[in-house]
Amino acid sequence: MAIRQVKTVARKATAAMRSAPFGLGFREARKGKPLNYDAFPRDTNAQWQYERGRLFAHIFAGKLKVNNKLSCYAIEAFYDAMRLKLIF
């Protein structure tokens, strides 16, 4: 099933990185698990965050969080990935 486009709202990238779906996608991709097409079937925003987390896991080798806070290296890498249009 194709993911529908949702109404876009300007938010900080770190809000996406802190979301549970982003973290789940990041962890699953790191473990080498295949894409879960049925993840978050009724929440399009969560589907997008999940996919962003998976994409980020493939381009960032460090830890996402340190002591339950986002790593400054992860934040910098995420902004770089967005600037390079690797993640949107």
Mean pLDDT of the 46-57 span: 94
pTM of the model: 0.83
Residue 60 belongs to some domain of the structure: yes
Residue 25 has pLDDT above 80, yes or no: yes
The string of DSSP codes covering 31-85 is TTPPP-TTSSTT-HHHHHHHHHHHHHHHH--S-SEETTEE-HHHHHHHHHHHHTT
Residue 67: give the domain boundaries. 13-30+40-83
Number of domains within the chain: 1
Residue 4 has pLDDT above 70, yes or no: no
- Residue 50 to residue 45: CA distance in whole angstroms: 9
Residue 73 belongs to some domain of the structure: yes
Average pLDDT taken over every residue of the chain: 89
